Structure 1
Amino acid sequence: MADGTLITLISLGVTGLFMLGVPVLLVIAYWVIGCSFVLGLTLDNMGAELMNVFNKGFALLAMPLFILTGDLINKSGIARRLSDYAYACLGWLRGGLAMASLGACGLFAAISGSNSATTATIGSMLHPEMVKGGYDERFSAATAAAGGTVGIIIPPSIIFIVYGFLMNLPISDLFVAGIIPGALMVFGMQFACWVICRANGWGYIIPLQLNRVLKTAFGAWLGFFAIGLVLWGIYTGKFSPTEAAGVTVGFCVIAGLVSWALSHLFRIKEGRTWEEKSYAEMLLVEGFTIPQIPGIVVRSAQITGILAPLIAISVVMQQILSLLGAQQVIGDFVISMGGYYAVLATAMLIVFVSGMVLESLPVTIILAPILAPIAGSVGVDPIHFSVIFLVGASIGFITPPYGLNLYVASGVTGVPYFRLLRYSTMYLVSLLAVWFLVALVPDLALMLLPNR
């Protein structure tokens, strides 16, 4: 049997496994192993390539640290304080709590760098509150899913780290380039949220109280400090992204332990509202104890244990695709489209369609090395293209049939997956509008970068 026929059968087989729900890691691994045998590549070669990914990937050390940061701020209560502040600012608008949950997603993303962690954390905290506040449970869950899309765009971002590692681009520049597009994604979704809630009359309106805004902002100071620490260190060059991740983890550990100790020392009661607490009490969050830290680390390690092997095996997959000539075929197709805008539009279409069936990590690892050089050949700035590529990949988190964030939101809220689709459509439209705006206006990604 010809090699091409065997590879086609292998591809069809693993596609069937994917449709049956087999994890993406195993699907890619089966395809890589099968194709390696067909092409005459030894498993020793695959093992060596897997090791090379991590031996040369110092920047990838930031990934588990930012995942751990997200778990620490959730466990310590910092995430809850950020959401309380967002609600104090937006609760006077129709749909204010839902808009606040999107704002909280943006603030949480500015510390954690993970889309699924953002959706899971904000969804589990605010979905019950939204349902109590008169929102449709399907809309509430879809809002958490949509808000999580900014988790990989607003810095620090795990996927920006992977992209920078693959394309040999400065990760600090990628982080800075994601600030304005990420903020626009949040504002775009908040506008869509306001339109939906106003049309349906959802949500209770609370008065805008300066005291509430100031007090919740004061209570969220640890979150703001962590965000500022990351952005300041990376933007000024004081930290590399990996060092920034380590510093942020250290800060979150100290903040969580000290807050717990002081809260118990001064016998501050938990569960009270912001009105019942003094400004001094608002300085402290719930925190955690030293015996709880191993459990937090294990949970973060479980997520890292899923992502890290996927990165490694996807790099090997990329090499096999290169041997098969797939990169040349896709490259020739995109180049044949013509000039700057035609190439850019074609690349965006490929990313969008791929995001419908694959998670952002394999999409990035497989397609970025193919599409980025082609975009560069027609004059697209490499940093600008990275933002275009990853914003498009993030939209895939709420695009069926894959829609990872929809699955995560369904899991933490109990709302069936297919019931979320109706209310995710409006958010999808708003994100597509922001995506096209970012693609057409390069300065939105580049204006904050020095020497640009």
Structure 2
Amino acid sequence: MTDGTWITLISLAVTVLFMLGTPVLLVIFYWSVGCSLVIGLTLDNAGNELLNVFKDGFALLAMPLFILTGDLINKSGIAKRLSDFAYACLGWLRGGLAMAAIGACGLFAAISGSNSATTATIGSMLHPEMTNGGYDERFSAATAAAGGTVGIIIPPSIIFIVYGFLMNLPISDLFIAGIIPGSLMVFAMMAMCFIVSTINKWGILIALSPFRVFKTAVGAWLGFFAIGLVLWGIYTGKFSPTEAAGVTVGFGIIVGVISYPLNKLMGVDQSAPVDEKPFAAMVVVEGFRLRDVPAVVVRSAQIAGILTPLIAVSIVMQQVLGALGASEVIGELLRGMGGYYPVLFASMAIVFVSGMILESLPVTIILAPILAPIAASVGVDPIHFSVVFLVGASIGFITPPYGLNLYVASGVTGVPYFRLLRYSTMYLVSLIAVWLFVALVPELATWLPAQMAR
């Protein structure tokens, strides 16, 4: 048989494995090894590529550290304070609690940088409150899944770190570029949430109380401080994104360990509703004991242990695709389409379809080195293209059949996956609208980095 026939058979075989539930990591690995043997690439080459990812990937150290930061922020109670603040600001609107969940996702994303951590944290906290408040359980779970998409767009972002590492772009510039598009995604989802909730008359309204807003803002001060610490440190050059991740981990541990005995000393019941807590109790979060830290680290390591090997094998897959000439085929196809907008929109279509069947990391690692140079050759700004590319990849988190956030939301809420699709589709429409807007207006991604460079 010819090499093409073997590669086709291998591709069909791993597709069947994927449909049977084999992890994406193993599917990519099996395909890469099989195709390497067919085209004559030695397994030593694959081993060297896997080793190089871990040996030379200093920037990738930020990924497990930001994942750990998200878990520490959740464990300490800071994430709950951020959601309380968002609800105090939005609870007077129809659908206010659901809108607060999306706002809390945006605030949590500004610390954690992870879509799955954002979905899991906010979903587990607010889904019970939303269902008790009269919201449809499917809508509540879909809201957490959709809100989690901003986890990789609002800085600090794990996927921006990976993209910058692959494309040799300043990670700090990519972080800044994600601020406006990420904010637009939050506002667009809030608008859709308001419309759907108003039509269905969901939610229990609370009075807008300036004192409650102020009180919950004081309660969330540690979360705001953590966000400011990361942004200030990176954008002033005090520390790199990797060092920023380490600083926030240290911050999370110190805050959690100090807050726990302070609560005991003050006799504070942090489980009480916001209105029943004394003002002084809002300054201190729930915290945790020092002996709880190893369990949090293990949980974060489990997530990082899934993502990091996925990056490594995806780079091997990218190399195999290069040897097969995939870059040239896609390049010729896109260049033959004409100029700026045809190439940009064709790239977006490729990212969208890929996001339906793959997680954002393999989509980024496989396609970014192929599509970004082609886009640059027709005049697309590299920073603008990175944001367009990654917003599209984030939309894949709620796009079936893969839709990672849908699976995460289903797992933490108990709502079956397929029951989420009705309402996640509504959020999908609003996110695609923002995606097109960002693609058509490059300044939404490039203006802030240009201002910071002055």
Q: Show the 5 A alignment for 1:16-415.
A: 16-415=16-415
Give the residue type in structure 1 aligned to 2:104.
A
Q: State TM-score, norm by structure 1.
A: 0.99
- Alignment of 1:447 onto 2:444: no
Q: Please give the alpha-carbon distance, in whole angstroms, between the structure 1 residues aligned to 2:269 and 2:356.
A: 47
For 1:301 and 1:357, how far apart are their aligned partners in 2? 25
| Cα shift at 1:4 | 1.0
The worse-fitting range, judged by mean Cα deviation, of 264-273 and 20-29 is 264-273
Shift of the alpha carbon at 1:201? 0.4
TM-score, normalised by the number of residues in structure 2 = 0.99
Cα distance in structure 1, aligned partners of 2:427 and 2:299: 30
Separation (CA, whole Å) in 2 of partners of 1:279 and 1:380: 52
Q: Which runs of 5+ in 1 are unaligned?
A: none
For residue 356 of structure 2, give the secondary structure of its aligned residue in structure 1: helix
- CA offsets 1:239-287 (integer angstroms, 9 cap, x no match): 1100110111111110101110111122212311222222221111110
Which amino acid in structure 2 is aligned with residue 280 of structure 1? Answer: A
Q: Quick one: which amino acid aligns to residue 158 of structure 2? A: I
Amino acid at match of 1:156: P
Tell me the percent identity.
77
Q: Is the 8 A contact 2:270 2:285 kept in 1?
A: no
Q: How far apart in 2 are the matches of 1:272 and 1:395? A: 37
Whether the 8 Å CA contact 2:114–2:152 is kept in 1: the answer is: yes
8 A Cα contact 2:348 2:392, kept in partner? yes
Q: Distance between the aligned counterparts of 1:6 and 1:283, measured in 2? A: 64
Residue 276 of structure 2: SS of its match in structure 1?
coil
CA distance in 2, matches of 1:439, 1:159: 19
Q: 3-state DSSP class of the match of 1:270? A: coil
Distance 1:416 1:273 in 2: 30
1:43, distance to aligned residue in structure 2 (A) = 1.7
What SS class does the counterpart of residue 68 from structure 1 fall into?
Answer: helix
Q: Distance in 1 between matches of 2:67 and 2:276?
A: 33
Aligned to 2:385, the other structure's residue is in SS state helix
Equivalent-residue separation in structure 2 for 1:206 and 1:267 (angstroms): 29
1:39 to partner: Cα distance: 1.6
Q: How far apart, in 2, do the equivalents of 1:33 and 1:339 lie? A: 37
Structure 2 counterpart of 1:171, one-letter code: I
CA distance in 2, matches of 1:232, 1:190: 27
1:198-255: per-residue Cα shift (whole Å, max 9, x none)?
0010001100001100000000000000001111111112111001101111111101
- Aligned to 2:16, the other structure's residue is in SS state helix
Deviations 1:412-452 (A, max 9, x none): 11111111111111100100000011111111111111348
SS of equivalent residue, structure 2 residue 274: coil
1:85 positional shift: 0.3
Q: Deviations over 1:94-133 (max 9, x none)?
A: 0000000000000000000000110011000000000000
Distance 1:266 1:128 in 2: 29
Q: What displacement does 1:391 show?
A: 0.1
Q: Which runs of 5+ in 2 are unaligned?
A: none
Q: Deviations over 1:12-50 (max 9, x none)?
A: 100111111110000000011111111222222211111
Residue equivalent to 1:7: 7
Write out per-residue CA displacement over residues 301-355 of structure 1, whole angstroms, 9 at most, x where no aligned residue.
Answer: 0001001111011101101100000111011111111010111010000000110
Q: How many residues align?
A: 452
* Cα deviation digits, residues 175-197 of structure 1 (max 9, x gap): 01000100000000000000000
Q: Give distance in 2, aligned partners of 1:307 and 1:266.
A: 41
SS in 2 for 1:447: helix
Letter in 2 for 1:262: L
Q: Distance in 1 between matches of 2:162 and 2:388?
A: 15
CA–CA separation in structure 1 for the residues paired with 2:204 and 2:70:
30
One-letter identity of the residue aligned with 1:339:
G
CA RMSD of aligned residues (A): 0.8
Which contiguous aligned blocks of 4+ residues in structure 1 show a shift greater than 3 angstroms? none
Paired residue secondary structure (1:357) = coil
Contact 2:133–2:203 (8 Å) recurs in 1:
yes
User: Aligned runs of 1:408-423 on 2, under 5 Å?
Assistant: 408-423=408-423
CA distance in 1 between partners of 2:325 and 2:44 (Å): 23
Amino acid across the alignment from 1:255 = V
Q: In the aligned structure 2, how far is the partner of 1:202 from the partner of 1:297?
A: 38
